[in-house]
Structure 1
């Protein structure tokens, strides 16, 4: 199969930004006076807020502050730069989908030294649905599901890739795809195998 497009999630997949998501959920619940479990966090906020725009904005401000603090701790990653260089040299266009806000996402990518590798970004400002994010990034990069690979680290990522119809590579231990990598550094090796099948 000739794959043309690789799409990756950001935190937990491309890199671990060290955000304590459970602690962040607790902080939001406390501040907002909510009892909602807030899982997954981004899509749950509008539900917990009952659609109240002001409450949604307030909750996402708390999230974005934590995301920006984490992004500012990111450091240049030579192994990640090498991994993305290899993927680019395999002829792939590269997109990013994330439930983070645009500013922290771009800050993290810039500090990691990998911003220029990405041809398109879809952040939570555009959509809170991972399935929709994948469709949008494919549309932006003129890709089709059967020629696209999605790299993610959650059950939501796996389910979304199945619904959209793209090939899934899992990173980390939270979810297992047909092909699994310990970290993003192993993804180019898997992609090479797929391209040579």
Structure 2
């Protein structure tokens, strides 16, 4: 029986539509090297241990690009607030995101849903989605099998399963993904929970 739900933010509750070219340019200014998009978080994680000053500057650059995207390109999925409002009546809700704390809280304030979540884990807590899910499960003090993770990428599902949680992937527009439970709207979560 599902008692807690862990949500990713970008791609699930909203779409930030980050411009990766701008992001890479901002990081290049700070780190004096071009970082490939798929390596950004691993480079930042390494810096967090090796060079705190450059790490701080990299996080500031990431936050700036994300905050600009919120103002300029963010898409709010129309069912987000309504679906979460309904789900919070029956489930403990947690948010995990690789966005920074400042951009995350800004999104939640815009949506009016910050208080819906019992806890929020951002990249300041961990750059690892699997570690973020583990933090969420530990916070909820629930058995892993009673926690459902809602993400928008295969990695979200893989990480949830590695921790021992159930997982759903949301795709807008809907696209079947072999071996994964896929939904096209947050409003489908309650029905899917009945089938789990």
| TM, length-normalised to structure 1 | 0.84
Aligned to 1:83: 83
Aligned to 1:109: 108
Q: Is the 8 A contact 1:4 1:148 kept in 2?
A: yes
Q: CA deviation at 1:154?
A: 2.1
1:119 aligns to 2:118 (yes or no): yes
CA distance in 1, matches of 2:27, 2:138: 34
Change in 2 beyond 3 A, CA 1:106/1:50:
closer
Secondary structure at 1:168's aligned position in 2?
A: strand
Q: CA deviation at 1:72?
A: 4.0
Q: Is the 8 A contact 1:12 1:153 kept in 2?
A: yes
| TM, length-normalised to structure 2 | 0.84
Q: CA deviation at 1:149?
A: 0.7
Q: CA deviation at 1:60?
A: 1.2
Change in 2 beyond 3 A, CA 1:21/1:13:
farther
Aligned residues: CA RMSD: 2.6
Query: Which aligned pairs between 1:151-166 and structure 2 lie closer than 5 A?
Result: 151-166=150-165
1:136 aligns to 2:131 (yes or no): no
Q: Is the 8 A contact 1:99 1:124 kept in 2?
A: yes
Aligned to 2:99: 100
Aligned to 1:10: 9
Change in 2 beyond 3 A, CA 1:110/1:24:
same
* Corresponding pairs, count: 192
Structure 2: runs of 5+ lacking an equivalent: none
Q: Is the 8 A contact 1:10 1:96 kept in 2?
A: yes
